[in-house]
Amino acid sequence: MNLPSVRVRRPWRLAAEASALLIAVVVAFPLYWMVLSAFKPAGEIESSRPRPWTAAPTLDSFRRVFGQQEFGRYFLNSLLVAGTVVIASALIAFLAATAVTRFRFRFRTTLLIMFLVAQMVPVEALTIPLFFLMRDFGQLNTLGSLILPHIAFSLPFAIWMLRGFVKAVPEALEEAAYIDGASRSRFLWQILFPLVFPGLVATSVFSFISTWNDFLFAKSFIISDTSQSTLPMALLVFYKPDDPDWGGVMAASTVMTIPVLVFFVLVQRRLVSGLGGAVKD
């Protein structure tokens, strides 16, 4: 605790802690309601007197979700797409970040500015040309049409963020490695890579989330072959604006949210320090 917390008078601190807990409850409430509704029997969800608990939890909604077409397949598709994007973009970004931080060459600053500008490109606006690109290369209705653009859109931010981590590795280490006779690629993969790994984890959170959540590309590029669909599309099968199957939507939402939550919990600590490191630099 860095702040002079001693100076905060007791009643004030208690008030602050009470409000922190209250806010935590409010912020967590939508997630609680999602899980709760997923376990409620149909009659209790569609009741005009919603209760914040359920006396008769049931797995009906989950059964409906997994009984629908090929929900398990969509889940695997989503995992496959997000996993490939995370790994590929982390590796490519690591190499690129190394190039721009540990070498001096012409156009280096220009490139860095380009990476920054590339972050601002509204991905959604590119749906139209990407649609034609995927069509011309026969990639429509394939998972590749989701993987490739997401790698491209994750890269600029990942490179930008990894820069700080690569920079933080002392140059002396690199020189020592060479003096000891290590080759460039040996230094790169066996020394630099493990040291930068926490940064890679923090970065991959962003690429994982944006890919896992993607809704627009899936909606636009996977148009006829539903076996290539991903979770967001499957979820919306239950959500018909006029007559939504709330139980199904909430069960599907729960299934879709859990992997991200697990991922977050796993990387939580590194994320906070990673963000701190990235912005300080």
Partner 1 sequence: MTGSPTGPRSVRGSSGTPWLYLAPALVVLGGLLVYPVYQLGLISFLEYTQAQVSGGEPTSFKGFGNYAELFGDGEFWRVLLATVVFAAACVVSTLAVGCALAVLLTRVRALPRLALMLAGLGAWATPAVTGSTVWLLLFDPDFGPVNRMLGLGDHSWTYGRYSAFLLVLLEVVWCSFPFVMVTVYAGIRAVPAEVLEAAALDGASQWRIWRSVLAPMLRPILVVVTIQSVIWDFKVFTQIYVMTNGGGIAGQNLVLNVYAYQKAFASSQYSLGSAIGVVMLLILLAVTLVYLRLLRRQGEEL
Residues numbered 43 to 82 that lie near partner 1 (CB under 8 A) are 45-50, 52
Residue 50 backbone phi and psi in degrees, to 5: -65, 135
Q: Judged by CB under 8 A, does residue 264 bind partner 1? A: yes
Amino acid identity at 86: V
If binding is defined by CB under 8 A, does position 99 make contact with partner 1?
Answer: yes
Tokens of 161: 């963020």
- Decide if residue 250 touches partner 1 (CB under 8 A): yes
Residue 274 Cβ vs partner 1, minimum distance, rounded to whole Å: 9
- Using CB under 8 A as the binding rule, whether residue 7 contacts partner 1 is answered as yes
Among 71, 153, 162, 199, binds partner 1 (CB under 8 A): 153
Query: Per rule CB under 8 A, is residue 224 in the interface with partner 1?
Result: no
69 DSSP assignment:
T
Binders of partner 1 among residues 173 to 212 (CB under 8 A) are 174-175, 178, 184, 209, 212
The nearest distance, CB 175 to partner 1, in angstroms, is 7
Total residue count of the chain as it appears in this document: 281
DSSP letter string, 27-58: HHHHHHHHHHHHHS-HHHHT-SS--SS-SS--
Q: Number of residues in contact with partner 1, rule: CB under 8 A?
A: 112
Q: How far is C-alpha 143 from the chain's CA centre?
A: 18
**Residue choice 77, 98, 203, 229 for contact with partner 1 (CB under 8 A):** 98
Question: Which of these, 157, 164, 260, lies nearest to 203 by C-alpha position?
Answer: 157
